[in-house]
Chains A and B, each alone.
Chain A
């Protein structure tokens, strides 16, 4: 199997996963700030 094919499918699998994690982490950060404000 050509190395370019393996690299391409790694990109196809990891990029959406990375974007999903990035969004989830940013949301977690905002939610924590909201919770802290509510507790204060």
Chain B
């Protein structure tokens, strides 16, 4: 192939790619919907949910704290499933999904851990204690920080993707472990959902559901954007002639 035709091919490919990386109508709709849901949830937390009798105002952390933890767990579950699918099918899209979901999930689980600590300060009398749920959450956080650091490496991308898929599957063990920690071991962390249901007043339950829905929408919007970024990066790499995505 002559140099000229190779350059022309690259230019055509880049031009096509440039169009595809732009946000679609669905992206804007999802972004808008998640923003509105977030604001509604925020209004409900401070204007609709009643003041909790024992803890007082500080209990209002609960609604977004649980919602962030849920999204973090959900994000890591998606990484787990994407990891299995990548190992079975070796398709780059599953690797992109796993990587994007882990990064977004990490942001949400970090929020859950930090705000949980802020809540514990006035209620437990300490910002941190090495009890089972908190210890597992700290380990989980560090495991996924390591995952994201691993993905930042540029050496042999296919090998790293394979290793990351296995790592994402192994690290997922912290999700059920964290969920069951408050049921299996003696812990001071409260249990929200038990076999007897949720011990919450109806306005509190409604506020929690709206918060969880808003955070799930926010996760979906951020995940879509993150996946789009990774696809654009792939196209840039392909255009630079270093690695064609179809080789994966």
Q: Do A and B come from one complex?
A: yes
Chain A interfacial positions (CB closer than 8 Å to B): 1-2, 4-5, 7-9, 11-13, 15-16, 19-20, 23-24, 26-27, 30-31, 33-35, 37-38, 40
CA distance A1 to B110 in the complex (A): 23
Asked if B14 lies at the interface with its beta carbon under 8 angstroms from chain A, I say: yes
Q: Which of B18, B57, B110, B222 contacts A5 (CB 8 A)?
A: B57
B236 close to chain A: CB less than 8 A: yes
Q: Contacting A16 at CB < 8 Å: which of B11, B58, B107? A: B107
Provide the bound-state CA to CA distance between A2 and B120, in Å: 13
Chain B residues packing against A (C-beta within 8 Å): 10-11, 14-15, 17-18, 21, 38, 42, 56-58, 60-61, 64-65, 68, 104, 107-108, 110-111, 114-115, 118-119, 121-122, 218, 221-222, 225-226, 228-229, 232-233, 235-236, 239-240
Contact A15 B107 (CB under 8 A): yes
B121 & A23 in contact (Cβ 8 Å cutoff): no
Interface-central residue, A2, A8, A11, A13, by most chain B CB under 10 Å: A8
Return chain B residues, CB-CB under 8 Å to A12. 64, 68, 111, 115
Cross-chain contact B11 with A26 (CB below 8 angstroms): no
Given contacts A9-B64, A19-B222, 18 further A-B contacts (CB under 8 A): A2-B57, A4-B118, A5-B58, A7-B118, A8-B114, A13-B42, A15-B108, A16-B218, A20-B221, A20-B222, A20-B225, A23-B225, A27-B228, A30-B21, A30-B236, A31-B18, A33-B236, A34-B14
Evaluate contact between B222 and A4: CB separation under 8 angstroms: no
Q: What distance in Å separates the Cβ of B62 from its nearest Cβ neighbour in chain A?
A: 10
Contact assessment for B57 and A27 in the assembled complex, using a CB-CB cutoff below 8 Å: no
